[in-house]
Structure 1
Amino acid sequence: MNFNSELLKNLVSIYSPSGNEKNIREFISKEIRDYVDEIRTDALGNLIARKKGNGKKIMVAAHMDQIGLMITDIDDNGFLRFTNIGGISPIVSFSQKVVFENGTTGIVFSEPLDDMGKMKIENMYIDIGVCDKKEAEGNVKIGDICVYESGYFENENVVFSKCLDDRVGCFVAIETIKNLENNENDLYFAFTVQEEVGLRGARTAAYGIEPDMGIALDVTGSGDTPKAKRFAVGLNKGVAIKVKDNSILTHPKVRELMIETAEENNIKYQMEVLEFGGTDSGAIHLTKEGIPSGVISISSRYVHSTVEMVSKKDVLSSVELLIKILNKEIDF
């Protein structure tokens, strides 16, 4: 399988912060509608696509939303104050370019501080290059959300871009849908909303689908950069099979299924024990009476920055593993 650079570039270029996923949902719907039997959007905004089968009902979740900055106030000189939508770092955001849905761009900066290491969001503002409040309000309103603006770059080994969390998970789901043939199981692909603000879309989607098993597709961290915190996951080491994070202890049978399938098909993998964060699986596994769930993770450097980085080989391994799992007869 070749790496579909055009698809991933399109996915990361689309403005769709948490709570405003319409643009990315429409793009994904057009990409997959010819490859699925049913497609719908639920009340919260999740895009749910079904490929019918006679086996177990399996839900595969990848979140569509990205982190952002929501405007809380506009001062007399037209500078914008903001709060975070998802995991925003002041240090990462400092001096970065941002863009609003209407195309208005700005730069994130900070008030003068004696110690920049103590910078907080409350010290920061966005400069959109206007003269006063009235001009600013002609471009931006209270409650508007902007996102990081940066390009898409790749070489033969890696991709680096904004919002690979979790457009790369959406990429894996889309490529899986397009390459699945005669699937054994009854498959529901949920492209979820509002993951970055509390796994909200996955919770409602799982409640409606009532799957027998859940699989989330998402990024994880890396422990392979200079002086990184000890973490046995890194780029080019294969698909990561999650053991735990702060939202889930993955179900042993799901984890064993992933390991067994990877080994049967000579798919390179690594085990992931993450001491922070969470994915849609954290919401899925607690739905109703409980759903056995696990996670296929893609190791990423610089998560929640403008230059998140993933390995192309790891991404393709994730697609391959997911296809093999979904085509298996599952006996639990």
Structure 2
Amino acid sequence: MKELLEKLTQAYGPSGSENSIRELIKSELSGYETKTDALGNLIIEKEGKQGGKKIMFAAHMDEIGVMVTHIDKDGFLRFDFIGGVNPYQLPAERVRFANGTIGVIGLEKIDKISDLNREKLYIDIGAESKEEAEKLVSIGDSASFISPFVDLGNRFVSKAMDNRSACAVLVKLLQNLPETDNHIVAVFTVQEEVGLRGATTAAFATEPDYGIALDVTATGDTPKGLTMDVGLGKGAAIKVKDRSIMVHPYVKEKLVELAEKNNISYQMEVLEFGGTDAGAIHLSRSGVPSGAISIPCRYVHSRSEMVDIRDMEAALKLAQAFCGADLR
């Protein structure tokens, strides 16, 4: 899974600009018939047997980034955030536009660190004038952050582990999906980072009986970090709640039952902030019992997100078990 994860994390794909990452995922699933809907979600369906339940697995393929809002007379770019971006982490970081243009994020002179905000930041693409900059970028162009993939043994570091690590799990699930009674709908969703938008339309269109979001979650295992009982290397995280959903009790209990029955390492996740595609799926139409299988991730929404391969493998095994589960 490491090689796939590296390819996926290094691909370009800020929210609203998922074409490149979608085509890469499609190339990994060449044995399947795929459909791209009006919003850009990539949808793959595998028929089950008559009487089986329809399960929607959703893994968002977009990443956080920035968008150009202004080009000044000297060729410097001002920008807005795409998704949840921490301005304190940005000075001297690099970004890449879809056409390959590279920029460095600069910071105006400030007197104290508390003055640092988005309005004090700019992107330097090496242009010497507005006219020169406009040959490379335009207002409304998006950029993703640049960060190499680093192998630390069982743990990997890169940008976009949120949510390419879960995309890798969903790809592997499809590549190794056994025959099941249940009808499986796998959706690589768009625009999750800006409001769960792809999952909203995909769930409405596919009408699942159950929804499972595959995503990352925060951890509480770093020095003086969050007070949270989730850590790297301890298994897949079974969500209980976040800001977008109170997980359906039956779905949560079924995931725990399957993990214990199949000797899959797991931990319970109560996330005090954020949300996943499950938040949109469970409110679709007249309601869809939904939950989430999460991959613990340190330093979420940074250029150095860290995940553990053992947690990814546990998430894959749990998703496989849910595919074949006897659901009421």
With structure 1 as the length reference, what TM-score do the two structures score?
Answer: 0.97
Partner of 2:58: 61
Partner of 2:38: 43
Distance 2:280 2:102 in 1: 35
Matches within 5 A, 1:1-332: 4-34=1-31, 36=32, 38-54=33-49, 55-331=52-328
2:34 maps to a residue whose letter is I
1:157 maps to a residue whose letter is N
Distance 1:290 1:124 in 2: 43
1:13 maps to a residue whose letter is Q
Which runs of no fewer than 5 residues in structure 2 stay unpaired? none
1:117 is displaced (CA, Å) by 3.1
Look up the SS of the partner of 1:324 in the other structure: helix
Distance 1:214 1:298 in 2: 17
1:245 is displaced (CA, Å) by 0.3
Distance 1:200 1:191 in 2: 12
Look up the SS of the partner of 1:180 in the other structure: coil
1:32 is displaced (CA, Å) by 1.3
1:184 is displaced (CA, Å) by 2.2
Look up the SS of the partner of 1:218 in the other structure: strand
Distance 2:115 2:251 in 1: 43
Look up the SS of the partner of 1:88 in the other structure: coil
Which runs of no fewer than 5 residues in structure 1 stay unpaired? none
Distance 1:23 1:17 in 2: 10
Distance 2:285 2:267 in 1: 31
Distance 1:118 1:300 in 2: 29
Look up the SS of the partner of 1:262 in the other structure: helix
Distance 1:30 1:49 in 2: 13
Deviation sequence 1:191-224 (CA, Å, 0-9, x none): 0000000000000000000000000000000101
2:169 maps to a residue whose letter is V
1:254 maps to a residue whose letter is V
Look up the SS of the partner of 2:237 in the other structure: strand
2:94 maps to a residue whose letter is K
CA-based RMSD of the aligned residues comes to: 0.8
1:301 maps to a residue whose letter is R
Look up the SS of the partner of 1:70 in the other structure: strand
1:6 is displaced (CA, Å) by 1.2
Distance 1:244 1:119 in 2: 33
Distance 1:115 1:234 in 2: 34
Look up the SS of the partner of 1:33 in the other structure: coil
1:113 is displaced (CA, Å) by 0.8
Look up the SS of the partner of 1:40 in the other structure: strand
2:286 maps to a residue whose letter is E
Distance 2:205 2:137 in 1: 36
With structure 2 as the length reference, what TM-score do the two structures score?
Answer: 0.98
1:266 is displaced (CA, Å) by 0.8
Deviation sequence 1:73-114 (CA, Å, 0-9, x none): 011111100001101110112210111011110111211111
